[in-house]
Amino acid sequence: MENTLLKKNNSSLISRVLKSKEIYFLILPGVIWYVIFAYVPMYGLSLAFKTYKANLGIFGSPWVGFENFTYVFRDPAFLESVWRTLWINLGRILFQFPFPILLALLLNEIRMNRYKKAIQTVYTFPHFLSWIIVSSVLINSLDMQGFVNGVIQLLGGDPVNFLGNTQIFRPLLYITDNWKSAGWTMIIYLAAITGIDTEQYESAQLDGATRFQIMRYITLPGIQSTIVVMLILTVGNLMNAGFDQIFNISNAATAKAGEILDIYIYRITFQSAADFSFSSTVSLFRSVINFALLLFADRVCKWMGAEGLFPSMKKKARS
Partner 1 sequence: MAEIRFEAQPVQRPGKSKLNNRIEMLDVILVVLLTGFAVAIILPFLNVIAVTFVTQQEYMKSTILLFPHSFTLENYKSLFEDGRIWTGYRTTLLLLVLGLPLNMFLTTSMAYGLSRPNFPFKKFFIYFVVITMLFSGGIIPMYLLMKELSLINTIWSIVLCYGINSFYLIIMMNNFTTIPISLMESAKLDGAGEWRILAKIILPLSMPIIATMTLFYAVDRWNEWFNAMIFIRKGDLTVLQLALRSIVIDSQISQQMNVSNVQTDKQFSEGMKMSAVIVSMLPIMCVFPLLQKHFVKGMLVGAIKA
- Residues 71-130 close enough to bind partner 1 by CB under 8 A: 103, 106-111, 113, 115, 117-126, 128-130
C-alpha to C-alpha distance for 262 and 90, rounded to whole angstroms: 16
Helices (H), the chain: 2-7, 11-19, 21-34, 40-44, 57-60, 67-74, 76-91, 98-108, 113-124, 131-142, 147-154, 169-194, 198-206, 211-214, 220-222, 224-235, 243-249, 261-270, 276-303, 310-318
Q: Which stretch binds partner 1 (CB under 8 A): 63-71, 82-90, 166-174, 185-193?
A: 185-193
Provide the minimum distance between the beta carbon of 176 and partner 1 in the complex, in angstroms, as a whole number: 10
Dihedral sign from CA coordinates of 218, 221, 226, 231: positive
Q: In angstroms, what CA-CA distances link 233 with 39, 229, 290, 318?
A: 22, 6, 10, 22
Q: Does 56 interact with partner 1 (rule: CB under 8 A)?
A: no
Q: Does 167 interact with partner 1 (rule: CB under 8 A)?
A: no
Provide the minimum distance between the beta carbon of 86 and partner 1 in the complex, in angstroms, as a whole number: 18
Contact with partner 1 (CB under 8 A): which of 81, 181, 245, 248? 248
Sequence-separated (6 or more) residues with CB below 8 Å from residue 165: 253, 254
Q: Does 137 interact with partner 1 (rule: CB under 8 A)?
A: yes
Q: Please give the backbone phi and psi of residue 316, each rounded to the nearest 5 degrees, phi first.
A: -60, -45
Q: Does 224 interact with partner 1 (rule: CB under 8 A)?
A: no
Provide the minimum distance between the beta carbon of 186 and partner 1 in the complex, in angstroms, as a whole number: 10
Contact with partner 1 (CB under 8 A): which of 265, 297, 301, 308? 265
Q: Does 213 interact with partner 1 (rule: CB under 8 A)?
A: no
List, in sequence order, every residue forming a beta bridge with 278; answer none if it has no partner. Answer: none
Q: Does 33 interact with partner 1 (rule: CB under 8 A)?
A: yes
The helix-helix angle for 11-19 and 21-34 (nearest 10°) equals 80
Provide the minimum distance between the beta carbon of 146 and partner 1 in the complex, in angstroms, as a whole number: 8
Contact with partner 1 (CB under 8 A): which of 5, 8, 25, 74? 25
Total binding residues for partner 1 by CB under 8 A?
108
Q: Does 271 interact with partner 1 (rule: CB under 8 A)?
A: no
Q: Does 13 interact with partner 1 (rule: CB under 8 A)?
A: yes
Provide the minimum distance between the beta carbon of 257 and partner 1 in the complex, in angstroms, as a whole number: 19
List, in sequence order, every residue forming a beta bridge with 50; answer none if it has no partner. Answer: 63
Provide the minimum distance between the beta carbon of 142 and partner 1 in the complex, in angstroms, as a whole number: 9
Backbone φ/ψ region at 305: left (φ over 0), alpha (ψ -120 to 50), beta:
left
The single-letter DSSP state of residue 63 is B
- Cβ-based nearer residue to partner 1, 252 or 304: 252
C-alpha to C-alpha distance for 239 and 237, rounded to whole angstroms: 5
Dihedral sign from CA coordinates of 222, 228, 230, 231: positive
Provide the minimum distance between the beta carbon of 82 and partner 1 in the complex, in angstroms, as a whole number: 15
Q: Which stretch binds partner 1 (CB under 8 A): 19-27, 74-82, 165-173, 299-307?
A: 19-27
Q: Does 255 interact with partner 1 (rule: CB under 8 A)?
A: no
Contact with partner 1 (CB under 8 A): which of 45, 168, 220, 293? 45
Q: Does 55 interact with partner 1 (rule: CB under 8 A)?
A: no
